[in-house]
Structure 1
Amino acid sequence: MTSFVHGIALLGFEDFALAQGLDPRATLAEIGLPCDAKDGVISGVQFNTLLELCARRSANPLFGLQLGLQQGAQALGNLWYAIQNAGSVGEALQVLIQYFHVHSNGAQLQLECHGGYARLMYEVTDGEAHSVRQTVELAIGISAHLMQGLLQHAWQPHSLQLRHSPVAEPSAYCRLLGITPHFNNSVNAWVFDERLLNIPLSTADQRLRQLVREHLDELARITLQELPSYVQKLLRTWLPHGQVCIEQVAAHMQLSPRSLQRYLRAQNTSFQALLDDTRQALATRYLRESSLSLTQLAGLLGYADLSTFSRAFKRWNGISPQQWKHHQQSSPAAVSRAVPDRHGE
């Protein structure tokens, strides 16, 4: 399964990377992410690769953990508001678990209680991610900040279990987290007194809690709706540089073309439909705002020749690009009368 992560997961990345001696924009570009990736959705594999690359380039094996501690629970986006307005610590964690897939669908959280102890477990479920130590430690940093925010001084974990071996001296972990992890375990988990789950949260607001839960329910239904707009964003960026095909877009997102088409079908669209709509919008914009020749415009939109572009334009608008431009120049208001309603075709 190919996973996605909301771009909010890159909260504070640029400043932190700079402090680690990295060029954040160049690093993002190296793995195929735009500098404004925080505003969209990125593949889980790319996010994981980014953290691993930064840890290696900065010679800081604790890059992910430190970034997570710096980001704090704000990196969870809308989830943080729902967590803050839960009635108790236990309810807050249940909200986090229930809606975590809205933030990232390539990992999962679980909470289990046994023998007076609770375990908050984190697992990367995306099988395409090969090394996940940095991603796991980022999550550990965020969750440590989260639990401290909820419990203040009452947060005294019994232990921290990590599946991987240490990437730095155990004492370095202790300085950052206040506890030395137990490495090479079967799970990644915070272990703490089960009674902490019953502590009420003084910040709880019943009305706000309901509104945020309704919003998260909506997000859970529309997460993939962001994908078509993201694909169109790539198309608008790349079309002026030549022809764009689904294989290029899928490779950029580290998806197979078949998977990308499947996700788009789930949103009642297709790559070709998005390409068509993007070309139509760009064509009218260029015709209205520039003095490019039609041949130049056809090339900018990725068409092999002018005749192919002209046929597409007439299919969209019912008139040729030459006629459209003539109407635009003579009477801008006439364009709306000359161009038929696409939905009425």
Structure 2
Amino acid sequence: MMSTVRGTALLGFKEFSVSQGIDPDSALAEVHLPEDPLNAQLSGAQFNALVELCAVRSNNPLFGLQFGLRQGTQSLGTLLYAMRSTAHVGEALNLLTRYFHIHSDGALVRLERQAGSALLLYEVTDGTLVSVRQTVELAMGIAACLLRELLGHAWKPRALMLRHCAPANRIAYRALLGVPPRFDSPFNAWVFDESLLAIPLEATDTRCQQLAQQHIDELARVTLQELPSYVQKRLRNELANGPVTLRDMAVYMMISPRTLQRYLRAQGTRFQELLDDTRQAMAARYLCDSSINLTQLGSLLGYADLSTFSRAFTRWYGISPQKWKQRMQHTHR
């Protein structure tokens, strides 16, 4: 299923592209986007292709990250306004995770707590995209600006986790972000002290709070996503913990397995088909963007062993995962 991104995700794109020696109109045309994309609804594939293209055109592997840092939080629009009207940082980030799909329905933002650390995680969920390095780093740049804006001087990240493999020049990341990323991680996330979530935000006046609440209510009316897309997002979250069955998904959604399957059939699909598509997309992305070994990858996708994963992969692509990865590496070179 094709994902969409709001045109505001390209705020400041033209100015930044010119600073990188790129003709922005030519780049937009090459990925079939209009010269004025800000009021358009972009496909996730177009947005991803544009950022990847610009990284190549500018000969700057940090294009996405630097664009995200330059753009900052302005692309979040009224959602940022609603976040600022919450009581504390944790509540603001929970609001972001709940309504981020309004800005991009091809990605997922989560907030988790682990052993005294908070993790703000970002995952591209559009299964049609293979290499998403630039898009991920752009999003993590925006997230850094958001956390700095909410926390001020208290913002001291413990780590930046990135799932893709390390580039040749790691030093530039520290200069831009203050910390060197940990590449080849199992997820993309900013990691920071959990206690920072309790930091209160400056109170806004009553009228501001009313406007923010109206905006939240408007967002709530569109949170019922198309069921297949919702199931796939849940699968991406849960597969790393082991196999996910139709019953598991139905229990999570508090409906019967039969009802869930009936709803999916009404949308022209089945649970097993969604599970297969999700695993296929995740496998391709990990093999393209990461140096994770095949045994680990099979486990992350919920397979019992490597041979089962390899058989599934060969069914999808007609060749083994080892040969597929070699072919992709040759293509990129």
TM-score by length of 2: 0.65
Q: 1:89 to 1:206 in 2, by over 3 A?
A: farther
Q: 1:126 to 1:179 in 2, by over 3 A?
A: same
Quick one: distance in 2 between partners of 1:186 and 1:205?
A: 42
Mapping 1:209-288, distance limit 5 Å: 209-219=209-219, 221=221
* SS at 2:215 equivalent: helix
Offset at 1:213?
Answer: 3.5
Offset at 1:184?
Answer: 0.1
Q: 1:195 to 1:223 in 2, by over 3 A?
A: closer
Quick one: distance in 2 between partners of 1:218 and 1:13?
A: 28
Offset at 1:63?
Answer: 0.3
Quick one: distance in 1 between partners of 2:188 and 2:206?
A: 32
Question: What is the aligned partner in structure 2 of residue 157 from structure 1?
Answer: 157
Q: 1:26 to 1:148 in 2, by over 3 A?
A: same
* SS at 2:192 equivalent: strand
| 1:209-240 Cα distance to aligned partner (Å, 9 max, x none) | 3422322432454699xxxxxxxxxxxxxxxx
Mapping 1:120-131, distance limit 5 Å: 120-131=120-131
**Would the aligned equivalents of 2:3 and 2:105 in 1 still touch at CA under 8 Å?**
yes
| 1:232-290 Cα distance to aligned partner (Å, 9 max, x none) | xxxxxxxxxxxxxxxxxxxxxxxxxxxxxx9xxxxxxxxxxxxxxxxxxxxxxxxxxxx
Q: 1:214 to 1:15 in 2, by over 3 A?
A: same
Q: 1:101 to 1:217 in 2, by over 3 A?
A: farther
**Would the aligned equivalents of 1:62 and 1:167 in 2 still touch at CA under 8 Å?**
no
Quick one: distance in 1 between partners of 2:221 and 2:167?
A: 38
| 1:53-78 Cα distance to aligned partner (Å, 9 max, x none) | 00001000000000000000111122
Question: What is the aligned partner in structure 1 of residue 63 from structure 2?
Answer: 63
Offset at 1:87?
Answer: 1.0
Question: What is the aligned partner in structure 1 of residue 195 from structure 2?
Answer: 195
Q: 1:110 to 1:133 in 2, by over 3 A?
A: same
The amino acid that maps onto 2:119 is R
Quick one: distance in 1 between partners of 2:69 and 2:16?
A: 11
Q: 1:80 to 1:168 in 2, by over 3 A?
A: farther
Question: What is the aligned partner in structure 1 of residue 40 from structure 2?
Answer: 40
Question: What is the aligned partner in structure 2 of residue 9 from structure 1?
Answer: 9
Q: 1:40 to 1:223 in 2, by over 3 A?
A: farther
**Would the aligned equivalents of 1:88 and 1:200 in 2 still touch at CA under 8 Å?**
yes
Structure 1: segments with no counterpart, 5+ residues: 225-261, 263-345
Structure 2: segments with no counterpart, 5+ residues: 225-266, 268-333
Question: What is the aligned partner in structure 2 of residue 290 from structure 1?
Answer: none
The amino acid that maps onto 1:177 is L
Quick one: distance in 1 between partners of 2:131 and 2:80?
A: 27
Quick one: distance in 2 between partners of 1:4 and 1:144?
A: 23
Quote the RMSD (CA, aligned, Å).
1.8
| 1:17-43 Cα distance to aligned partner (Å, 9 max, x none) | 001011101110111000111112100
Quick one: distance in 1 between partners of 2:88 and 2:100?
A: 18
The amino acid that maps onto 2:187 is V
Quick one: distance in 1 between partners of 2:72 and 2:56?
A: 23
The amino acid that maps onto 2:80 is W
**Would the aligned equivalents of 1:62 and 1:168 in 2 still touch at CA under 8 Å?**
no
Mapping 1:295-310, distance limit 5 Å: none
Within the alignment, does 1:183 sit opposite 2:172 as a pair? no
Mapping 1:160-175, distance limit 5 Å: 160-175=160-175
* SS at 2:187 equivalent: coil
* SS at 1:60 equivalent: coil
Greater Cα offset, 160-169 or 47-56: 160-169
Question: What is the aligned partner in structure 2 of residue 72 from structure 1?
Answer: 72
Quick one: distance in 2 between partners of 1:160 and 1:146?
A: 14
**Would the aligned equivalents of 1:61 and 1:168 in 2 still touch at CA under 8 Å?**
no
Offset at 1:205?
Answer: 4.2
Offset at 1:172?
Answer: 0.6
* SS at 1:152 equivalent: helix
**Would the aligned equivalents of 1:87 and 1:204 in 2 still touch at CA under 8 Å?**
no
| 1:187-206 Cα distance to aligned partner (Å, 9 max, x none) | 00111110000000115445
Within the alignment, does 1:141 sit opposite 2:141 as a pair? yes
* SS at 2:86 equivalent: coil
**Matched pairs, number:** 225
Quick one: distance in 1 between partners of 2:168 and 2:36?
A: 31
Runs of 4+ deviating beyond 3 Å: 203-207, 219-224
Quick one: distance in 2 between partners of 1:166 and 1:96?
A: 28
Quick one: distance in 2 between partners of 1:72 and 1:42?
A: 20
Q: 1:64 to 1:220 in 2, by over 3 A?
A: farther
* SS at 1:175 equivalent: helix
Q: 1:8 to 1:168 in 2, by over 3 A?
A: farther
